[in-house]
Structure 1
C-alpha cells in the first residue's frame, strides 16, 4: 500500500508539471511562475484544512507543550521528527533506554509509535514540504512498551510505569493509541491514571478498531476522565471498520486515509483510531499552548464544546460520534465558559474506585523514599493466668461441687420433703375416711 501511495503521488506531481509535451515545439517556453508545485505528501494531509488546524496555526503551533507517546517507540534519525523528541524511556525491558528503538513482532507494530508521533508533531522537511503534525512545535516524549509477547514485563505494569514517568518528566498531554479489548483494567492503572489527573495531564485514548477485533470499547477507553476519540472517514461519517463505537467516545477525528512516517523514514498509508488519537492530542497541545492557564478539564472542555456536529450525529452526545468532529481553530480561538469538573464523565476515577473497588481512593503513587514510621508505645499486657494443677478427671473438683453437685443435692432434698408431705397427708385422709365408714 505504501508503494502504491508513493507511486500515485509521484504520478500526480508529474502530470501537474507543464511543458512535457513542448519539447519539440518552437514556441518559446512560458516564463516560470512563482507558484511552487504543491507537495504531494502535504496536500494528502486533508485533515489539516478540514479540521481547522491550518487556521489554528495563526495563533499557535504548540510551542512549550510536551506530548508523551506511550507506544512501540519513536524511531531515531527521522528527518520529519528531527528536534521533536525531548526525551524518553523504555518500559518493556527489551528496548533502548531512550525509547527510540521501535518494538514489535511485525512491521506494523514496529512502525506504530513513529506513525503516531508524526501525526501529532512532525516538523515536515521544509516550509511546505514533507509530513507535518498537528502541533509541529510541540515536544515529544518517547515511551516504548512491548505489545503481545515482545516483553516479559506485564503489559499493565509497563503502561502504569510509563504514565508515571511521563508525568514526572513534564508531559502536558499523554497519547494512548491502543486498547486491551476488555472493559476492566488492572488496579495499577487506578493509581497511574489518577496520578496523571492529579498532575493536570490531558490523557487522550483511541477507541479501537472493529477490523482489528475490537467489537466494543475496552480499557483504557473505559477509564473515567480520559478523552476518548472515535474515527470518521473523509465525509465525516462513522468509520465502521477503522473505529469502534461506544458511549465513552467524546469526540471524533479522521481514521481513514491517514499518513505516517515509518521507522525507515518512508511515508506510509494507514488507518484506525490509533491515528485519530494523536490528531486530537495535537489539538490538545495547541489549546494548552494558546491557553496556558487552563487546567486539563477546561482544555478538554474547549475541545468537546467546540466540536462540529457530524452529518449523522444524533443529539448533543452520540455513542458513535461523541460531541462531534473536532475543530482545531474553534478550540483554540472561541470564547468558552470555564467548567469546574470533567465534561466527559459523570463520575471521576476516584469515585469509581471507591464504588467498585471498595476503597477510599485509588492510592498514592510513591515517587520518593518511604518515610520511616515513628515507634508507638503500647501499655504492658496484663499477666497471664497461672496454669491449672493437674487433677484426676474422675474426681469432683471444687468448681464442680460448688456449681453442680451442691445445687443438685438441694433440689433433690426439697423434692424428697415434698414427696414425704404428700404421703403423710394421703395417709391421714385415708384414716379419717375409714373411721367415718365404720360408725354408720
Structure 2
C-alpha cells in the first residue's frame, strides 16, 4: 500500500471515529435511579438474550474490547475487567484510562457486553456505623449480554492526533495480537473506517487470530457518519460484521451501513450504556450492535468451550431470522440476531467460516505462500505468555519463469498486426476521400443512417 493510501486510510478511520459511527447520538444522564435504565434494555428480550441465559451467561470466557479504554471502576463493571493493555502509547498500562476522540466509547461498549449491574448502597441505620458495601452485580444499572464473561481492556487512541505517536495502522494489529496472546476467545472491534480496504500490515494480525481460533466481531459503521458502505476492519474475510436495526427491527437508516461482508443485524438505536465516572447514556450506532453479538458469541463459547470459532459464527448466522431480500443480503446479512436459537437450536456442524477466511484471501490477493513461514512479527507487550505456537505468516510467492524467446515472439507478433491495421486504415481513408458518399455518420453524434421505410403489402 502506498504512502498516499496509508494517509487516506488513516483519514477515513478518523472520519468514522469523529463522525458518529462510534458514539452515535449520545444523551448523558447521572447515575441516579439506575434501575430505570435497566428497564429500557429492550434488546435483551427482543433479541432472545434473556431466554438464552437459561443455557449460558458467558462464564469462563474472556472478551477483548479494542476501543478507547474502559473505566473498570464503573459500578456495573466491578470485577469484570480482568486484564488489559494500551497500544497507543498514551493510555494507562492496564487499558483502563479513557482516551482518544470518544473517551466514553469503550465503557459504553463494555457495559453493554458484560455489565453486571449493581446494588445501590443502603444507608447505615447508625450514623457511627460504616455504610453497607454491596456485592458486585445487582438489580440496578446496566446488565450486559454476557454478564458472567470477563473483559480485557485494550485501549487505542483513534479519531484525533495521538500524543503517543503511534498511528491507527500500528495500533489495530498490535491490539489484535495482544488480545489473542492473552486468552481472548472473542474480540470486539466497534471501530472502523470509511474505506473498505485495509493496510497490508493488518493481514498477519487477523491471520494470527484466525489460526488461534478467535472470534472477531466488528461494527459495520453508520450512514450518519458518512459510511454508506461497510469499511475496514469489518470487510476483512472471516470477521463477523454486524449491521444495525431501528426500533421497529428494520435496517437503520442512520445507524447502519450496507455491504456484502455483513453477517448479522442487531439493535442499533435507543441503546443504553455506562459512562466513565459512573454515569449512563442513551446512544446509537452499530458500535452498540457489535457488543450485543459479541456477547452472544461469549455465551456460545461458554456453553461449548471446544467449539471452533468457525462453528460459533456459523451458529449465530444460521439461526438468524431472515429479513429483507430472501437469503443473505447487504442490509441484514443472514438475518436478525436470534440469541435463543443460537444457544438452543440444533445446528449442522461446518468446517468452514460462512464469512470467509483471511488465509484464503491472502493466498489469492497477496499471493501469499504458507508453505514456508517467515519470521513472526515482533510480539506486542503482554502480561501473559502465549500458550499456542506461532502461526504461519504469508510469504510472497516467487514469480513464475517464462522462456526468454516467448516475450520477443509476442512483441513481434503484435507489432506485425499493428502495422497491417495502420496500412489498411490509410487505404480506407484515401478511398473515402475520393468518394465521400461511402462515408457513414459520425459515431459520436448518435445519429442513425437513413433507412427506406418498409413497403406495405
Q: Which residue pairs with 1:419 in the alignment? A: none
2:321–2:338: 8 Å Cα contact kept in structure 1?
A: yes
* Deviation (angstroms), 1:309: 2.1
Q: Which residue of 2 aligns with 1:52?
A: 48
Q: Which residue of 2 aligns with 1:233?
A: 246
Contact kept, 8 Å, 1:2 with 1:267, in 2: the verdict is: no
In structure 2, the residue matched to 1:333 is 344
Check 1:191–1:325 CA distance in 2 against 1; reply closer, same or farther (3 A cut).
Answer: same
Equivalent residue number for residue 63 of structure 2: 67
Deviations 1:212-233 (A, max 9, x none): 1112111101110000000001
**Does residue 343 of the first structure (1) align with residue 354 of the second (2)?**
yes
Q: Which among 271, 295, 303 is matched to residue 308 of structure 2? A: 295
Output the TM-score relative to the length of structure 2. 0.70
Instruction: Determine the structure 2 residue equivalent to 1:247.
Output: 260
- For residues 24-423 of structure 1, the aligned pairs below 5 Å read 39-105=35-101, 109-126=102-119, 127-151=138-162, 152-310=165-323, 313-345=324-356, 348-361=357-370, 365-366=376-377
Tell me, what secondary structure is at the counterpart of 2:140?
coil
Shift of 1:177: 0.5
1:413: which partner in 2? none
- Point out 4+ residue stretches in structure 1 off by more than 3 angstroms: 1-7, 361-369
Partner residue, 1:381:
none
Structure 1 residues 287 and 128, CA gap change in structure 2 (3 angstroms)? same
Q: CA deviation at 1:368?
A: 7.0
* Larger RCO (alpha carbons 8 Å, 6+ apart): 2
Q: CA deviation at 1:245?
A: 1.0
Q: Relative to 1, partners in 2 of residues 1:5 and 1:309: Cα closer, same or farther, differing over 3 Å? A: farther
Q: Return the alpha-carbon distance in structure 2 between the equivalents of residues 249 and 351 of structure 1.
A: 18
| Equivalent-residue separation in structure 1 for 2:27 and 2:229 (angstroms) | 33
State the distance in 1 between where 2:296 and 2:259 align. 22
Task: Give the Cα separation in 1 of the matches to 2:182 and 2:30.
Answer: 37
Q: Secondary structure at the match of 1:269?
A: strand
* Cα drift, residue 57 of structure 1: 0.9
Q: Deviations over 1:157-191 (max 9, x none)?
A: 11101110100000000000011211111112100
Q: Deviations over 1:30-64 (max 9, x none)?
A: xxxxxxxx931111000001111111111111000
Deviation per CA, 1:303-342: give whole Å up to 9, x if none. 00111123xx111111100111111111011111100101
1:380 is matched with which residue?
none
Number of residue-to-residue matches in the alignment: 335
- TM-score, with length taken from structure 1: 0.73
Contact 2:30 2:279 in 1 (8 A): no
Structure 2 gap segments, 5+ residues each: 1-24, 120-137, 381-457
Say whether the 8 Å CA contact 1:2–1:269 is kept in structure 2: yes
Secondary structure at the counterpart of residue 376 of structure 2: coil
RMSD: 2.2
The structure with the largest alpha-carbon Rg is 1
